[in-house]
């Protein structure tokens, strides 16, 4: 688990004066941490049990605007409270914040104390429970990419977010000298996250100027999602402390490659890899083939959970390592699904469709729901794809817009059965609001293109 601090150890640290603040955070629809900072003594005396937060937190957009049209909370309903209950298994130190610990919380109904079905952590936990009922343990990991900028967030705001300068001036993919220049931030990120209990493996330069990638060891699905949000939040905070900034936008500049969040996934049974069969093709078991068939069958209808914003779809560009076709292949980075570790106990499926802007709980849950449907129905696996998927004709395509993905999400019988109508309708509304806002706003591109010439 991400937690590296027991409750008893926290009490000792508070008594010794080494910890004075405890952050209790829930995960919102955008995958951000929202919550409160407690004086540590209050937390260990009472708030470790529960606190409260406004239920609008699961109906607001990126700007924290209360969005109309949700069934779960509204002005008509008065925007009441949720209960935020700490999951003490996630209690951990925050080395980059003085005297601070953090714990993630589950969102509960104020009256029934049952988990709120539309909350991201509850959505993933439900799919993990489905897998467990089928006899499987779910192991996952995410690779997270982002851009590192020389300016601080305040400086970028002052210049209206125009012309952010990447710390690196050229492509530093795997470059040791190139990434040495950025060690002031990246070393602090690796060490800070490791000290927080995140099993960081490495960081590296990615395939664009100023682009970074950080990887943590695979774990159970819930822990992998918890690690992801802590990595993302911690990276922002550490960069901020260094007077720098980062972005996890899927595509911050149309001239540059986008940032992804590749998802590695496998199932285990009785302590053994359920995806491995030495007698199968490339070591793939029948279970793995059915799971992969489920991912492919439902690839288009689960895309919203991998690409949740209008901007997300600008990442899917030919030749920039973001897939445009939802096909599978062996060790082929042009395909939406890549098989890694063939013929070994580490055999797994890598989904390459998701961007760095995804909510990991929703992304992992949708992958799992699709894969389990493939197993339950014993779906046959289509032939492997070979070659350049970018230029392949007559194959399954990744949706080209948020509107297309939202319609597929709304009409998904599989997701409605796996997650519930309330969840699908809730996140469909999140997508349509994003589209409504994009349609309403006049962009810089429109001004530059049309102010004089229209």
Q: Is the pLDDT of residue 322 over 90?
A: no
Tokens in use for 134? 């089928």
Question: By percentage, how much of the chain surpasses pLDDT 70?
Answer: 100
Q: Which fold has domain 127-445?
A: Creatine Kinase; Chain A, domain 2 (3.30.590)
Q: Is the pLDDT of residue 320 over 80?
A: no
Domain with CATH 3.30.590.10 in the chain: 127-445
| Phi, then psi, of 232 in degrees rounded to 5 | -65, -50
pLDDT band per the 50, 70, 90 thresholds, residue 163 = confident
Q: Is the pLDDT of residue 1 over 60?
A: no
- Min mean pLDDT across 154-168, 259-273, 415-429 is at 154-168
Where is mean pLDDT largest: 35-39, 72-76, 202-206? 35-39
| Helix (H/G/I), strand (E/B), else coil: 16 | coil
CB contact set of 179 (below 8 Å; sequence gap of 6+): 172, 186, 203, 204, 205, 212
Cα(181)–Cα(100) distance, integer angstroms: 29
Considering only CA atoms, which of 227, 250, 230 is closest in space to residue 147?
250
Q: For residues 174 and 236, which has the higher predicted lDDT (pLDDT)? A: 236
The tens digit of pLDDT for each residue in 387-430 reads 888 888 889 999 999 999 999 999 999 999 999 999 999 999 99
| Highest CATH level, class, for 7-114 | alpha beta
Check residue 267 and give its pLDDT: 98
Q: Which residues pair with 138 in a beta bridge?
A: 267
| Helix (H/G/I), strand (E/B), else coil: 97 | coil
Check residue 173 and give its pLDDT: 83
Q: Which helix (H) or strand (E) holds 425?
A: helix 421-440
Residue 290: burial class (beta carbons within 10 Å; 0-12, 13-18, 19+): buried
Domain with CATH 3.10.20.70 in the chain: 7-114
Interval 78-86 mean pLDDT? 94
Q: For residues 21 and 177, which has the higher predicted lDDT (pLDDT)? A: 21
Q: For residues 287 and 164, which has the higher predicted lDDT (pLDDT)? A: 287
113: left (phi over 0), alpha (psi -120 to 50) or beta: left
């Amino acid at each position: 688990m991400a937690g590296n601090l027991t409750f008893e150890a926290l009490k000792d640290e508070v008594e010794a004066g080494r910890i004075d603040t405890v952050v209790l955070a829930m995960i919102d629809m955008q995958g951000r941490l929202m919550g409160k900072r407690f004086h540590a003594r209050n937390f260990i005396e009472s708030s470790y049990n529960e606190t409260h937060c406004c239920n609008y937190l699961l109906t607001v957009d990126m700007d924290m605007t209360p969005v109309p049209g949700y069934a779960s909370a509204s002005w008509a309903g008065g925007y009441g409270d949720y209960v935020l209950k700490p999951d003490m298994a996630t209690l951990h130190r925050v080395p980059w914040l003085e005297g601070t610990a953090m714990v993630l919380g589950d969102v509960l109904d104020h009256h029934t104390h049952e988990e709120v079905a539309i909350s991201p952590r509850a959505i993933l936990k439900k799919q993990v429970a489905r897998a467990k009922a089928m006899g499987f343990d779910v192991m996952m990991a995410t690779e997270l990419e982002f851009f590192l900028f020389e300016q601080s967030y305040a400086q970028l705001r002052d210049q209206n977010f125009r012309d952010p300068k990447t710390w690196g001036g050229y492509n530093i993919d795997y470059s040791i000298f190139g990434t040495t220049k950025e060690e002031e931030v990246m070393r602090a990120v690796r060490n800070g996250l490791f000290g927080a209990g995140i099993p960081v493996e490495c960081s590296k330069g990615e395939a664009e100027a100023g682009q970074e990638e950080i990887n943590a060891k695979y774990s159970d699905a819930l822990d992998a999602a918890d690690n992801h949000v802590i990595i993302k939040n911690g990276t922002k905070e550490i960069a901020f402390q260094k007077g720098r900034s980062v972005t996890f936008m899927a595509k911050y500049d149309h001239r540059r490659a986008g940032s992804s969040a590749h998802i590695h996934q496998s199932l285990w049974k009785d302590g053994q890899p359920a995806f491995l069969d030495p007698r199968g093709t490339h070591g793939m078991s029948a279970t793995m083939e059915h799971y992969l068939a489920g991912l492919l069958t439902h690839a288009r209808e689960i895309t919203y959970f991998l690409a949740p914003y209008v901007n997300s779809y600008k990442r899917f560009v030919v030749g920039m390592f973001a897939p445009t076709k939802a096909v599978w292949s062996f060790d082929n980075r042009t395909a939406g699904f890549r098989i890694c570790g063939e013929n070994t106990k580490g055999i797994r499926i890598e989904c390459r469709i998701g961007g760095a802007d995804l909510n990991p709980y929703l992304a992992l849950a949708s992958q799992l729901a699709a894969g389990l449907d493939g197993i339950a129905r014993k779906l046959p696996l289509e032939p492997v794809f070979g070659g350049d998927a970018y230029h392949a004709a007559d194959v399954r395509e990744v949706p080209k817009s948020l509107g297309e993905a939202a319609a597929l999400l709304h009409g998904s019988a599989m997701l409605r059965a796996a997650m519930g109508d309330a969840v699908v309708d809730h996140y469909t509304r999140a997508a349509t609001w994003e589209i409504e806002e994009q349609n309403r706003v006049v962009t810089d591109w429109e001004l530059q293109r049309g102010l004089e010439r229209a």
